[in-house]
Structure 1
């Protein structure tokens, strides 16, 4: 482990500027915190939009970006009872306030804050994972167990999978059920398909416009995935989705990006069977434009449950790691491109230009 009192990091000083590689003081440890040596940090496909300001995230500058990491524990606080120096951990970026159990304020460390309370958290847990070290709450250092150094970058796929996993937990997906994943050909959506199968889904309906990506899903997962090529006609698409699900889609999870049409979301939502469940965790309407309109009598008369889900519960990372350890979810599905910390700007550009199923970009400080 590095012994100096300074670390290298990629810092964003102003929106629209490039990341600057600088020397920062090592993070100092407080009670209830852990210092982690970052070994691999995933780069979100839309991190370029955060850095440019296009996403309009609450992001107090200057700040080191980077949401989530795989690393080794460097130092633990006095209240840690199980973590030890050298342990491999997943650094969960979802930092929650400890003084609001029912409605905690949340910041995504190195990415965004939710509201003024989240911004207050962000100002303290200021720097993300594009650095040699980071300070995180003790509960956000999730043990991975023993892993091979060569497999570290593959474990970064946990960051991608966690988001849709939160949606699947909210949907209460049961073994044997049929689920429709709206956005199945994107990076989060394709991970959702793999996760749904790992959790025992009998069938996953996967709509999309990219025929090559749909073919790839069929090749990877076989007959339990039924793809639907979208036409852009809402009624036609809804009918085709229902037919692919044999007329009984138990739940729908929408994870389409902000650029998606509300018509695509509505077609998917209204393909669910009576008494079915719908989980909304995409970005439609986030950047303006028309809102989602769903017919009130249809919801009421068909006893449809519609749930909004942002992120995932605190226990989700540990449960997801257990799925991987059990061999139910293979991280080898993911193709990884790696960059050094000095290449942080190139990594951000690469992540934006290489969006797609089972692709991740990683910075290795």
Structure 2
């Protein structure tokens, strides 16, 4: 890194400011073809989903990937990265409008779980075999239902709890009966503990971006004075893709 470089950074908190000091290992050069708004939307979502699917799930070409909350920031990133890794991607969301966004991101199959039984549709789509990898940034009432739809040797990724409310629990016999794994994803800690692996992930992500395989969706931008409004939009689950606060 040198003075004048265009960079993106993981601050954790405090980035709604005109200037911010960040640990050097949390800073990455922005690719020449990427603008600042896209860069602001890139690191958290794509860093999380890449770590989840590569290091935690060890997703393999030809495997089936189910993405819950598929129109959100990390969900859309998971759809695109899953496709880039050669998976067959099923996107699940609560409205057809959200699913259309996931389809444009490359999802192979769509499930509107407000209109149909998620478990029954997954059984139909996988010929009763279940899903190899489940990416869940939502939590909530679908948590156990989706785990019951997992394949033998399947992996369920616990990414977050956007649904709010009580954090879901799982009967301990289910992983046993399915020969399956429940795997936590904490990208922030991974980036601090394994900075070289994180840098390698971003090298691959930037290559896919240059090839046009990753197309971050920024649905709204806000001025710095509107930062609270941006957070409120997220809190009300009105966001599609990413929201960006522009400092200048």
Q: Which bin holds the TM-score, normalised by the shorter protein?
A: 0.7 to 0.9
Partner SS for 2:183: strand
CA distance in 2 between counterparts of 1:204 and 1:281 reads 17
The change in CA–CA distance for 1:291 and 1:204 in structure 2 (over 3 A counts) is same
2:144 counterpart residue number: 266
The answer to whether the Cα contact below 8 Å between 2:76 and 2:241 also exists between their aligned partners in 1 is: yes
1:177 counterpart residue number: 63
TM-score by length of structure 1 reads 0.57
The farther-off stretch of 206-215 and 312-321 is 312-321
The answer to whether the Cα contact below 8 Å between 1:338 and 1:364 also exists between their aligned partners in 2 is: no
CA distance in 2 between counterparts of 1:353 and 1:162 reads 24
Partner SS for 2:238: coil
The answer to whether the Cα contact below 8 Å between 1:88 and 1:143 also exists between their aligned partners in 2 is: yes
Higher helix share: 2
**1:255 and 2:173 matched:** no
CA distance in 1 between counterparts of 2:62 and 2:124 reads 17
Partner SS for 1:133: coil
The farther-off stretch of 346-355 and 156-165 is 346-355
1:253 shift after superposition? 1.6
Matched pairs, number:
237
CA distance in 2 between counterparts of 1:328 and 1:237 reads 31
The change in CA–CA distance for 1:292 and 1:145 in structure 2 (over 3 A counts) is same
What is the CA deviation profile of residues 134-181 of structure 1, one whole-angstrom value per residue up to 9, with x for unaligned ones? 111111112234346xx2111222133222223212111112211111
2:194 counterpart residue number: none
The change in CA–CA distance for 1:306 and 1:328 in structure 2 (over 3 A counts) is farther
The answer to whether the Cα contact below 8 Å between 2:72 and 2:240 also exists between their aligned partners in 1 is: yes
CA RMSD in angstroms comes to: 2.8
The change in CA–CA distance for 1:350 and 1:228 in structure 2 (over 3 A counts) is closer
The farther-off stretch of 203-212 and 340-349 is 340-349
The change in CA–CA distance for 1:90 and 1:238 in structure 2 (over 3 A counts) is same
1:139 counterpart residue number: 25
The answer to whether the Cα contact below 8 Å between 2:143 and 2:168 also exists between their aligned partners in 1 is: no
Which aligned segments of 4 or more residues in structure 1 are displaced greater than 6 angstroms?
none
Structure 1: give runs of 5+ residues left out of the alignment: 1-82, 94-108, 111-127
TM-score by length of structure 2 reads 0.81
2:16 to 121, 125, 130: 130
Q: Which has the larger radius of gyration?
A: 1
CA distance in 1 between counterparts of 2:158 and 2:201 reads 21
Partner SS for 1:247: coil
CA distance in 1 between counterparts of 2:61 and 2:242 reads 27
